[in-house]
């Protein structure tokens, strides 16, 4: 067993304790717990070099591919999340690594779309899953399709890796903490002129001609998926998109579905597939026998699933992303021909849009937990695992905070005497500021900044300060990271166009070539 694998196993084993042991809000500062010296840094460097030299390139054909998407998980999010996770364990945090940061191969992904420098999730995920860059707002179709024009879709669909996998006889799954009809999961199985056409009610509101032409909404496309024997696993949020407007939600008596066609697509799923099940809460989910269930459909909220921070307040209500990933792998592994699975940490993006760093970081750690769970369940000699983001956010890490400074907190620096200063650092107006912030968003306070306290900025509900006032913080256009392990993972390298990720995965499965 080489050094890298030993390190990975130790990290994965330790990481399994993280979500159990860590408190909800970290303390003010965190000490460096290991002895550090010039000799230690040199040993670390040589050990890292030897580990890199011993990395095994697994070449050949993969049986399985698992793609993890951290929606909006830019490099600054990775940095802050690794520190956040480490500090939750009482460490200084900077030396920590998220589970997938231990993967042996990595690269940068260029996330521009066919018509914008900074993209949304529709074209970015379409590029990753179909190999073709496209325009904003449209899903798994090429750039000849006009946004919101259903007439331009036919003949311009771009085939997805999930569709190729089903054609090859493999099983397929889509897991997300967002609505299953949201852009990232939808790009796996749907082709549409608008990411907003999630239900027929959405089409009616946004495009009367598409509604009158009965253009299939995204939820309907999932149920009517024509390739192979359909998706084996679909787990996430978005119940309202699948049930009629006259039907009361099974969990919330004050909510109903939104479909106008009176179709209950959850019932159609169980009628369509033998040995299938539909679940909407954790107890039902936990009761599923993976060996006997061939098709599992789970919708755990009317809209998006809960943020991990909020889910943990009552963990018996809905499964974690790691739970769903584990169950999906168990069901998909029943197919001896293999599988393709997409797992999205969808709410990282939503928390960033809301200017709430705490929840974004917590959900990033939850994605790391899901990756760790997947690695523990697969054979890397026949499986490729890729972890990436579709785009970034305007989230930044600023100032010169001391080592171990609370990542959510106000900035304290090391003084000229080499010691930690007693007071928090201030701006030219003598006001304190936090390490984390956004270039734009809901946290903009106007012409003058407020007086901040440590208690205020470390609160999980705090919206970090922003420079430009926006009703929703925007995406950012810089490159995002890609991490890979397993068969053909060595082909993830350098600076890559985002759509090239598709070709690495397709080549591993020996799919997609005409």
Query: Which amino acids are annotated catalytic?
Result: 121
**Calpha distance 11→100 (Å, rounded):** 10
Whether residue 349 contacts residue 72, with contact meaning beta carbons closer than 8 Å, is answered with: yes
DSSP 58: B
Torsion of CA 207, 213, 218, 222, to 10 degrees: 180
Placement of tokens 């499965």 in the chain:
509
Which among 44, 93, 98 has a CA at the least distance from the CA of 75?
98
Bridge-partner residues for 339, per DSSP?
64, 171
Main-chain dihedrals φ then ψ at residue 497, nearest 5 degrees: -65, 140
Whether residue 408 contacts residue 84, with contact meaning beta carbons closer than 8 Å, is answered with: yes
Q: What are the Cα distances from residue 69, in Å, to 66, 272, 341?
A: 10, 29, 11
Strand 495-497 relative to strand 105-110: parallel, antiparallel, unpaired? parallel
**DSSP string over 69-114:** EETT--HHHHHHHHHHHHHHTTS-STT---GGGGSSEEEEEE---S
């Amino acid at each position: 067993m080489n050094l890298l694998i030993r390190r990975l196993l130790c990290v994965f084993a330790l990481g399994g304790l993280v979500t159990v042991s860590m408190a909800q809000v970290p303390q003010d500062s965190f000490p460096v717990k290991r002895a550090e010296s010039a000799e230690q840094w040199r040993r670390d460097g040589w050990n890292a070099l030897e580990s890199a030299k011993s990395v095994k390139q697994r070449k050949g054909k993969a049986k399985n591919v698992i793609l993890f998407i951290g929606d909006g998980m830019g490099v600054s999010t990775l940095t802050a999340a690794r520190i956040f996770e480490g500090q939750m364990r009482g460490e200084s945090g900077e030396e920590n690594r998220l589970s997938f940061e231990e993967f042996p191969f990595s690269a940068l992904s260029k996330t521009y779309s066919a018509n914008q420098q900074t993209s949304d999730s529709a074209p970015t995920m379409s590029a990753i899953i179909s190999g073709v860059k496209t325009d904003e707002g449209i899903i798994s179709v090429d750039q000849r399709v006009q946004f919101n024009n259903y007439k331009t879709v036919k003949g311009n669909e771009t085939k997805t890796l999930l569709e190729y996998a089903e054609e090859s006889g493999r099983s397929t799954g889509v897991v997300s903490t967002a609505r299953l009809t949201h852009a990232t999961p939808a790009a796996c199985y749907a082709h549409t002129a608008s990411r907003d056409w999630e239900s027929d009610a959405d089409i009616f509101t946004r495009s009367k001609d598409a509604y009158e032409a009965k253009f299939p909404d995204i939820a309907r496309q999932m149920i009517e998926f024509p390739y192979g024997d359909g998706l084996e696993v679909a787990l996430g949020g978005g119940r309202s998109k699948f049930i009629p407007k006259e039907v009361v939600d099974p969990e919330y008596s004050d909510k109903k579905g939104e479909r106008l066609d009176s179709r209950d697509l959850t019932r159609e799923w169980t009628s369509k597939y033998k040995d299938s099940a539909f679940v909407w809460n954790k107890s039902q989910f936990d009761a599923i026998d993976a060996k006997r269930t061939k098709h599992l459909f789970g919708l755990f909220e009317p809209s998006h699933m809960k943020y991990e921070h909020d889910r943990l307040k009552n963990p018996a209500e809905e499964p974690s992303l790691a739970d769903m990933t584990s169950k999906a792998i168990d069901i998909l592994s029943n197919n001896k021909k293999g599988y393709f699975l997409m797992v999205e940490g969808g709410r990282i993006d939503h928390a960033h849009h809301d200017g709430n760093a705490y929840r974004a970081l917590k959900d990033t750690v939850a994605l790391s937990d899901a990756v760790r769970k997947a690695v523990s369940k697969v054979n890397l000699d026949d499986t490729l695992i890729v972890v990436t983001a579709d785009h970034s956010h305007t989230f930044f890490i600023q100032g010169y905070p001391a080592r171990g400074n609370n990542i959510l907190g106000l900035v304290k620096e090391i003084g000229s005497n080499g010691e930690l200063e007693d007071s928090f650092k201030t701006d030219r107006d003598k006001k304190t500021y936090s390490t984390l912030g956004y270039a734009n968003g809901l946290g903009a306070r106007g012409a003058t900044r407020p007086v901040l306290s440590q208690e205020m900025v470390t609160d999980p509900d705090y919206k970090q300060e922003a420079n430009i006032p926006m009703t929703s913080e925007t995406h950012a256009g810089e490159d995002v990271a890609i991490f890979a392990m397993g068969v053909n993972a060595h082909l993830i390298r350098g600076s890559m166009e985002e759509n090239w990720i598709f070709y690495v995965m397709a080549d591993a499965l020996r799919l997609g070539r005409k």
